[in-house]
Amino acid sequence: MLKIDNLPKKVRFNLRNKEIFPNTILSPMDGVTDAPFRRLCRVLSGDRMGLLVSEFVPTDGDAVFNPDGHKQLKFFPEERPFGIQIFGRFPDRMAYAAGKIAETFHPEFIEVNAGCPAPKVAGKGSGSGLLRDLPRLQEILHEVKKTLDAKTPEIPLTLKCRIGWDDESINVMETLKIAEGEGVEMLTVHGRTRLQGYNGLANWDWIGKVAAAAKIPVIGNGDVNSVECARERINTYGVSGVSIGRGAMHNPWIFGQIADAWEGREKHVITAQEALDVFPLYYKFKIEDGATEMNAMGRMKQLAARLCKGFCLDDKCVDRVSRPSLLGHDRDQHLGQERSDCPKTKDERGSALRLGSGTLSSTLCHPGAEGDRIQESDNVAMSVRQALLTSQSAAEMLDRVQELKEGIAREMVFEPECLVNLNGAKETELKFGDQFKGR
pLDDT tens for 334-352 read 323 333 333 334 444 444 4
Does 5 fall in a domain?
no
CB half-sphere exposure, 26, CA atoms < 13 A: 38
As a whole number of Å, the CA-based R_g of the chain is 24
313 and 235 within one domain: no
pLDDT at 425: 53
By the 8 A CB rule, do 189 and 171 touch?
A: no
Q: Are residues 200 and 311 in the same domain?
A: no
More confident call, 349 vs 208: 208
Q: What is the mean pLDDT of residues 153-163?
A: 98
- The predicted model scores a pTM of 0.85
- 154 and 197 share a domain? yes
Residues 153, 71, single domain; the answer is yes
**pLDDT at 21 > cutoff 70:** yes
- Say which range, 216-230, 252-266, 277-291, 330-344, has the weakest mean pLDDT: 330-344
Tell me, yes or no, if 161 is annotated catalytic: no
Residue 79 lies in a domain: yes
| pLDDT, position 417 | 73
Domain range enclosing 351: 275-418
- Say which residue, 368 or 56, is predicted with more confidence: 56
Answer yes or no: do 308 and 260 share one domain. no
List, for residues 274-306, the tens digit of each pLDDT value: 999 999 999 999 999 999 999 999 999 999 999
Q: pLDDT category, 69, cuts 50, 70, 90? A: confident
Residue 3: predicted pLDDT: 53
Of 268, 295, 317, the residue at which a domain comes to its end is 268
Q: Indicate whether 60 and 171 sit together in one domain.
A: yes
**257 falls within a domain:** yes
Residue 231 pLDDT grade (very low, low, confident, very high; cuts 50, 70, 90): very high
Residue 322 pLDDT > 70: no
Whether the per-residue pLDDT at 323 is higher than 80: the answer is no
Q: Do 294 and 248 have their domain in common?
A: no
In a domain, 8, yes or no: no
Buried b (16+ CB within 10 A) or exposed e, 180-197: bebbbbbbbbbbbbbbbb
51 and 196 inside one domain: yes
> Of the candidates 268, 291, 319, which is a domain's last residue?
268
**Domain total of the chain:** 2
Q: Same domain for 253 and 281? A: no
Q: What confidence tier does 420 reach under pLDDT thresholds 50, 70, 90?
A: low
Strand partners for 15: 18
Question: Does some domain include residue 142?
Answer: yes
Q: Classify strands 412-414 and 311-313 as parallel, antiparallel or unpaired.
A: antiparallel
Tell me if 196 is assigned to some domain: yes
Same structural domain, 264 and 280: no
Question: Looking at per-residue confidence, does 84 or 340 come out higher?
Answer: 84
Q: Which residues pair with 420 in a beta bridge?
A: none
Q: Does residue 436 fall inside a structural domain?
A: no
Query: Looking at the domain assignment, is residue 93 inside a domain?
Result: yes
Per-residue H/E/C for the chain: CCCCCCCCCCCCEEECCEEECCCEEECCCCCCCCHHHHHHHHHHCCCCCCEEECCCEECCCCCCCCHHHCHHHCCCHHHCCEEEEEECCCHHHHHHHHHHHHHHHCCCEEEEEECCCCHHHHCCCCHHHHHHCHHHHHHHHHHHHHHHHHHCCCCCEEEEEEEECCCCCECHHHHHHHHHHCCCCCEEEEEEECCCCCCCCCCHHHHHHHHHHCCCCEEEECCCCCHHHHHHHHHHHCCCEEEECHHHHHCCCHHHHHHHHHCCCCCCCCEHHHHHCHHHHHHHHHHHCCCCHHHHHHHHHHHHHHHHHHEEECHHHHHHHCCHHHCCCCHHHHCCCCCCCCCCCHHHHHHHCCCCHHHHHHHCCCCCCHHHHHHHHHHHHHHHHHHHHCCCCHHHHHHHHHHHHHCHHHHEEECHHHCCCCCCCCCCCCCCCCCCCCC
pLDDT band at 214 (very low <50, low <70, confident <90, very high): very high
Among 4-13, 34-43, 236-245, which is the least confidently predicted range?
A: 4-13
**% of the chain with per-residue pLDDT over 90:** 72
Q: How confident is the model at residue 235 (pLDDT cuts 50, 70, 90)?
A: very high
Q: pLDDT band at 219, cuts 50/70/90?
A: very high
Spacing of C-alpha 399 from chain mean position: 26
Instruction: Specify whether 262 is located in the same domain as 293.
Output: no
Catalytic residue among 41, 116, 161, 317: 116
pLDDT of residue 303: 95
Q: Which of 125-129, 235-239, 421-425 has the lowest mean pLDDT?
A: 421-425
- How many Å apart are CA 362 and CA 367, to the nearest integer? 8
- Check whether residue 104 and residue 249 sit in a common domain: yes
In this prediction, residues 239-259 reach a mean pLDDT of 96
409 has pLDDT over 50: yes
Task: Average the pLDDT over 148-167 and give the result.
Answer: 98
Domain final residue pick, 268, 297, 325: 268
Render pLDDT for 98-119 as a digit per residue (tens, 0 to 9): 999 999 999 999 999 999 999 9
Q: What is the mean pLDDT of residues 404-414?
A: 92
CATH number at residue 218: 3.20.20.70
List, in order, residues 6 or more apart from 144 with CB less than 8 Å away: 91, 94, 95, 98, 110, 112, 157
Between strands 18-20 and 24-26, the pairing is unpaired
- How confident is the model at residue 326, as a pLDDT? 23
